[in-house]
Amino acid sequence: MTRLLDSRPEPDDATRAGDGSLDAEAIENITDRKESEQEVQRLDGHMRKAQRLEAMGALASGIAHDFNNILGVILGYCEIALLDAPEGGHLRRDLNNIMIAGERGRALVDRILGFSRAGAGEPSAVHVEQVVREALNLIAARCPAGITVESQLRAGRAAVWGEPTQVHQVLMNLATNAIQAMETGGRLRVGVDVEDLQTSRAVVSGTIGEGEYVVVAVADSGCGIAKGYLDRIFDPFFSTKDVGVGTGLGLSVVLGIVNEVGGGIDVRTTLGQGSVFSVYLPRVGDADDDAAEIREAPLPRGKGECILVVDDEEALARLAEQSLRKLCYVPETFISSTAALAAFRANPYRYDVVVSDERMPGLSGSMLLHEVRSIRPDVPTLLVSGFIGADLVGRAKEIGADHLIRKPMSMRDLATGLAKVLARPAANTAPDGS
Ligand SMILES: Nc1ncnc2c1ncn2[C@@H]1O[C@H](COP(=O)(O)OP(=O)(O)OP(=O)(O)O)[C@@H](O)[C@H]1O
Ligand SMILES: [Mg+2]
């Protein structure tokens, strides 16, 4: 007879019936043992997965911090270059695309930090069509020559509740797959529409309830998906692509996001003719401001106020210096928080605002601002950090920082932050991260 548990000894003869077969109680014992062994294996697997995730989280937050600083330099110099780029020209359009990509990168870092620590970025009403339009610019820029990109954007300002980067990731992953499916060229069509479902609908990811949805559809005229693969394409690490081309994570990320916002995803495909992926995102009214309009609005400028800036990353300190000069302020930069404190102590009324990075060796930004405030309680302060979570907001409140800026800090963030703190009485006002 076949052994149930290969690594274990055979049950002794007393458990065997007269004909040598196992009696019912022995079989039950072995089944119990096997089940508990499977349970142990399952828990062990969960534990190892949790440990792996924890290690990944720590690694991700380290990378995110450094990446944020790199992004800060890219975005910062791009913003400075934009100030001199002629209206309506190619250069301005290209620089704007760098800014859009950089801002998405910044939002992505937020998500990575949110994954590795509690409290991800704040969700808000996302202007889907706006995000899709921005992503389309990036897609068109990197699309191979034989592929035409068409779009039909008909959702107006319809919004979904989440983060813009989620919508961006969904579209980028679906469009990348579509492009990869059309090796010999073809048509990539992207649509955004509002659909009002009167009854619930069964889709590939499950059932979506009745109500209004913003539907993002990505269609290609590529190879299509074989029937046998259709129920596996959303599995993590399922890929039919060569190593180095696909990791098999794109669609599982898409599905994760869609589930997170309470939506659904549907797929229609014909082998050799193409596929259509339709993502249903629950609508939450309309989005208000147009991000592009905000980006184009004139920057508030200073009137020669002296700003003390501290960042231990020299490139970022120099960038802040240049940005402040462009904004008509007089910067004084330090890459050491203790040196900055000494300068402030020596001449506290020389500075109109103190701007400090949070994460610095020795004296952190919040410690520095606390010291600065104890020397001169009315000095306006700005704290800059790569991760604005509940912890930092609490700490900032305690020390009385007037305003928080998320890193990488754009020139616009800096300009509006300074205008805000200079326009209001500095002492005893609650900080905010807006
Ligand atoms: N538009 C499409 N046309 C044909 N096949 C597709 C399409 N989209 C997805 N697939 C199939 O689904 C599989 C899984 O897609 P997924 O995006 O999850 O991973 P990937 O594209 O292989 O790798 P990654 O996205 O991580 O680079 C793909 O390998 C491919 O076989
Ligand atoms: Mg993919």
List the single range of 4-13, 92-101, 147-156, 374-383 with lowest mean pLDDT.
4-13
Q: How confident is the model at residue 139 (pLDDT cuts 50, 70, 90)?
A: confident
Ligand closest to CA 245:
1
Residue 153: helix, strand or coil by DSSP?
Answer: strand
The one-letter amino acid at 275: S
Q: How confident is the model at residue 96 (pLDDT cuts 50, 70, 90)?
A: confident
Helices 164-181, 250-260: axis angle to 10 degrees equals: 150
Strands 158-162 and 201-203: what pairing? unpaired
Q: 66 or 178, which is more confident?
A: 178
Ligand closest to CA 254:
1
Helices 128-142, 164-181: axis angle to 10 degrees equals: 40
**Whose CA is closest to atom 31 on ligand 1?**
240
Beta-carbon contacts of residue 345 (< 8 Å; ≥ 6 apart): 375
* pLDDT value for 404: 84
Q: Tokens 């998500």, residue?
A: 111
Question: What is the rounded radius of gyration, in angstroms, for the C-alpha atoms of the chain?
Answer: 28
Q: Tokens 């008909």, residue?
A: 154
The reply to whether ligand 1 has any atom less than 6 angstroms from the CB of 247 is: yes
| Residue 12 vs residues 17, 21, 259: alpha-carbon distances, Å | 11, 11, 52
* Tens digit of each residue's pLDDT (9 = 90 or more) over 281-328: 999 888 875 555 555 667 889 999 999 999 998 888 999 999 999 999
Distance (angstroms) between ligand 2 centre and the Cα of 245 equals 9
The reply to whether ligand 1 has any atom less than 6 angstroms from the CB of 322 is: no
* pTM of the complete model: 0.55
Ligand closest to CA 230:
1
- C-alpha 354/C-alpha 384 separation (Å) is 11
Please report the atom of ligand 1 found closest to the CA of residue 245.
27
The reply to whether ligand 1 has any atom less than 6 angstroms from the CB of 234 is: no
* Tens digit of each residue's pLDDT (9 = 90 or more) over 7-65: 333 444 444 455 555 677 777 777 777 777 777 776 776 566 566 656 666 677 677 77
pLDDT at position 243 over 70: yes
pLDDT at position 334 over 90: yes
Q: Is the separation of the CB atoms in 324 and 279 below 8 Å?
A: no
Question: Which of 290, 295, 288 shows the shortest CA–CA distance to 99?
Answer: 295
Q: How confident is the model at residue 401 (pLDDT cuts 50, 70, 90)?
A: confident
Please report the atom of ligand 1 found closest to the CA of residue 178.
1
* pLDDT value for 119: 37
* pLDDT value for 3: 32
Please report the atom of ligand 1 found closest to the CA of residue 235.
18
Distance (angstroms) between ligand 2 centre and the Cα of 243 equals 12
Ligand closest to CA 241:
1
The reply to whether ligand 1 has any atom less than 6 angstroms from the CB of 177 is: yes
Please report the atom of ligand 1 found closest to the CA of residue 236.
18
**% the chain with pLDDT above 70:** 81
- C-alpha 280/C-alpha 268 separation (Å) is 14
* pLDDT value for 48: 66
* pLDDT value for 121: 55
The reply to whether ligand 1 has any atom less than 6 angstroms from the CB of 250 is: yes
Q: Where is mean pLDDT largest: 11-15, 68-72, 231-235?
A: 231-235
Distance (angstroms) between ligand 2 centre and the Cα of 239 equals 8
Can you tell me the mean pLDDT for 331-345? 96
The reply to whether ligand 1 has any atom less than 6 angstroms from the CB of 179 is: no
Strands 274-286 and 211-220: what pairing? antiparallel
* pLDDT value for 102: 85
Distance (angstroms) between ligand 1 centre and the Cα of 284 equals 30
Distance (angstroms) between ligand 2 centre and the Cα of 219 equals 14
pLDDT at position 427 over 50: no
Strands 158-162 and 274-286: what pairing? antiparallel
The reply to whether ligand 1 has any atom less than 6 angstroms from the CB of 241 is: yes
* pLDDT value for 246: 76
**In the predicted model, what is the mean pLDDT of the chain?**
82
Ligand closest to CA 222:
1
Strands 211-220 and 206-208: what pairing? unpaired
- C-alpha 99/C-alpha 295 separation (Å) is 10
Can you tell me the mean pLDDT for 333-346? 96
